[in-house]
Amino acid sequence: MHNFKILIVSFLGMFYVAQAQHDNTNKMQLTMNEQPEVIAKNISPNTVVYSYRHKNEKRKIENPQAFKESEIDSNVNNVVFEYPIMRADQGAVLPFEFTMNDSKSTKDGIEAEEYYFNSLMEKPELNKIIYQDLETTRTRLNNAGIFDAQDLNYFDMPLIAKIVGAGVLITAKIKVNEKRKDSPQSNTISATEEYNIESTFNIYNQVGSLIFTKSDAPIITTTKNSYQVMLSHFMKQTPYYHKL
C-alpha cells in the first residue's frame, strides 16, 4: 500500500510537469519579420511577455504560429512589455538611419532625428497633429528592445505603432559621402569639402501603410549637415503641416 501511494504521487508529479509544459506552448514571435533575439510569450491585446536569446542569431520567420517549442529556452528571464494607449492621431519621430561614408552612424542618426523633432517644435502651431515627446518615444522603443534605426528592421510598422502608442510614424534614411574638389585659385592646390547627400523621408500610419514619401538631395553640400535643409523641406511638405 505504501508503494502504491508513492506510485500515485510520482504519477501526479509527472502529470503536472507535463501540463505545465503544455501550458507553455502558447508562444509566438514578437516580430513578424527577422528576429535576432526577442522571443514573445503569452501575447494579449495589451501585454507581451518576451525574452532575449541568441543575440547574434538572425533568421526569417515565415510563419510565427509555427515556431517550435524546442527552439525556446525556458530558462531565460522574461520581460513584461505593456503596450501604451494608442493615440492614432499622434505622431512619433522614430530613429533616423544615417550612413556616413558607407558606414552606419547611430550618433549622426540621433542628431538628425533631434534636428527634425526640434524643427517641429519651433512653431508647434503649424503642426496639424500633436507629436509625442522624443524621450517618451525612445523610452518605449528601448523597453521593447529597439535602440537604433537598424533595430527597426526586425519589427513591422503596425507593431512599432503599438509599441510607441502613436498612429503616425516618421522615419528617414540619410546617406552622406565625402568628396573633395580641387580649387585652382593659386599655384598651390587647396581643397574644399563637399558631400554627396541623399535623403529619403517616409511617414507610415497605424496599420503600416505608407502615406507620404519624399526623396531629394540638397543643392548646397558644403557641410555634412547640409541634409538638414532637406529635412526642413520635407517637414513643410507633409500632410501634417500647415503650409504658409
What is the Cα–Cα distance from 231 to 112, expressed in whole angstroms? 8
* Buried b or exposed e, range 202-235, using 16+ CB within 10 angstroms: bbbbbeeeeebeeebebeebeebbbbbbbbeebb
SS3 of residue 118 by DSSP: helix
Q: Give residue 174's Cα distance to chain centre.
A: 16
Residue 114, all three cell numbers:
533631434
**How do residues 49-102 score in pLDDT, each as one tens digit?**
554 444 444 333 344 444 444 444 444 455 667 899 999 999 999 999 999 999
> Domain extents for the chain?
2-82, 87-237
Q: Note the pLDDT tens digit of each residue in 174-215.
A: 999 998 665 455 444 445 578 999 999 999 999 999 999 999
pLDDT score for 220: 85
Read off the C-alpha cell for 165: 502608442
Pairing between β-strand 190-205 and β-strand 166-183 as defined by DSSP bridges: antiparallel
The pLDDT tens digits for 87-137 are 999 999 999 999 999 999 999 999 999 999 999 999 999 999 999 999 999
User: Roughly what angle, to the nearest 10 degrees, separates helices 134-143 and 157-164?
Assistant: 110
What CATH architecture does domain 87-237 belong to? 3-Layer(aba) Sandwich (3.40)
- Residue 179, pLDDT score: 81
DSSP one-letter code for 141? H
Query: Could you tell me which residue, 103 or 18, shows the higher pLDDT?
Result: 103
Distance separating alpha carbons of residues 223 and 80, to the nearest angstrom: 44
Alpha-carbon distance 32 to 53, whole Å?
17
Judge whether 231 and 218 are in contact, CB under 8 Å: no
CB atoms within 10 A of CB 199: 24
For the chain, give the mean pLDDT. Answer: 76
On the question of pLDDT at 35 being above 60, the answer is no
